């Protein structure tokens, strides 16, 4: 198993009508052994910007701490929140700084930009941005996730339907992966509220 699959993870972000959903599994393992079933992979940067980091857990935590530091500095200087597109460029630059000794992570960024337009993107471990209009996936279950999302996605879904779709896609995919699952964590973000839900899943 590769270093990216050492801890196991599953992340997905999906775009709806003036809203987005970002979801992750909750397992932290050491190869096949499960250590924790309540591991936090998705972090809130500000009201309308979330980042989920898959891959090696220690690198994910370190990367998150560095990003929070940089965002707080930005907020102090600019006196406003970062736009999602700008944040994505920041993440990409930070990852490429470590080009010859990378963080073993794959981040998924989701936010509401100007005019409440949802923005999602993912990148590889050295910062190659991949923008998408519909959904992005990352983690050890990413291949299953691609299949499930492709089958279930519809454009312009309302928040409730988007939540259902993301949850079903996540559960179906992690049920085919030994290294991720043990519950789910879903955030649905609209211009007025953030709804956080924990999913009851198969614990095997």
Partner 1 sequence: MKLDLSGLESTVPHFGTSDGLSHGFPTAPSFDLPITGDFDGFQKEAIQMVKPAKGTTTLAFIFKEGVMVAADSRASMGGYISSQSVKKIIEINPHMLGTMAGGAADCQFWHRNLGIKCRLHELANKRRISVTGASKLLANILYSYRGMGLSVGTMIAGWDETGPGLYYVDSEGGRLKGTRFSVGSGSPYAYGVLDSGYRFDMSVEEAAELARRSIYHATFRDGASGGVASVYHVGPNGWTKMSGDDVGELHYKYYPVTPSTVEQEMGEVSGA
- Our finding on whether 175 is near partner 1 (CB under 8 A) is yes
Name the 3-class secondary structure at 131: strand
Range in contact with partner 1 (rule: CB under 8 A) among 85-93, 103-111, 128-136, 194-202: 194-202
Q: Which is nearer to partner 1, 95 or 169 (CB)?
A: 169
Query: Which of 110, 179, 186, 199 is close enough to bind partner 1 by CB under 8 A?
Result: 179
Range in contact with partner 1 (rule: CB under 8 A) among 52-60, 86-94, 112-120, 153-161: 112-120
Angle between helices 159-174 and 142-152 in degrees, nearest 10: 140
Please, what is the minimum distance in Å from the beta carbon of residue 100 to partner 1? Answer: 27
Which of these, 112, 167, 107, 111, lies nearest to 137 by C-alpha position? 107
Q: Which is nearer to partner 1, 140 or 165 (CB)?
A: 140
H/E run at residue 29: strand 28-30
Range in contact with partner 1 (rule: CB under 8 A) among 27-35, 62-70, 89-97, 162-170: 27-35
Angle among Cα 4, 8, 13 to the nearest 5 degrees reads 90
Angle among Cα 169, 167, 92 to the nearest 5 degrees reads 75
Please, what is the minimum distance in Å from the beta carbon of residue 48 to partner 1? Answer: 7
Q: How many residues bind partner 1 (CB under 8 A)?
A: 32
- Our finding on whether 25 is near partner 1 (CB under 8 A) is no
101, 63 Cβ separation under 8 angstroms: no
Please, what is the minimum distance in Å from the beta carbon of residue 189 to partner 1? Answer: 8
For the stretch 68-91, what's the b/e string if a residue is b when 16 or more beta carbons lie within 10 angstroms of its beta carbon?
Answer: eebbeebeeeeeebbbbbbbbebb
């Amino acid at each position: 198993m590769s270093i990216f699959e050492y801890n196991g993870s599953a992340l997905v972000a999906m775009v709806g009508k003036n809203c987005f959903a970002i979801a992750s599994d909750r397992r932290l393992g050491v190869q096949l052994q499960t250590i924790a079933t309540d591991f936090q992979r998705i972090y809130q940067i500000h009201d309308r910007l979330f980042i989920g980091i898959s891959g090696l857990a220690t690198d994910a935590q370190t990367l998150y701490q560095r990003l929070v530091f940089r965002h707080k500095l930005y907020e102090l200087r600019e006196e406003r929140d970062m736009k999602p597109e700008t944040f994505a460029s920041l993440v990409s630059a930070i990852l490429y700084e470590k080009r010859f000794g990378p963080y073993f992570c794959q981040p998924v960024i989701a936010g509401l930009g100007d005019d409440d337009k949802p923005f999602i993107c993912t990148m590889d471990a050295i910062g190659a941005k991949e923008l998408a209009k519909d959904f992005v996936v990352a983690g050890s279950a990413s291949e299953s996730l691609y299949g499930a999302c492709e089958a279930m996605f519809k454009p312009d879904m309302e928040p409730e339907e988007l939540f259902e779709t993301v949850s079903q896609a996540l559960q179906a995919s992690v049920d085919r992966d030994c290294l991720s699952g043990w519950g789910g964590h879903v955030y649905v973000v609209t211009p007025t509220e953030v709804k956080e839900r924990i999913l009851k899943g198969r614990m095997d």
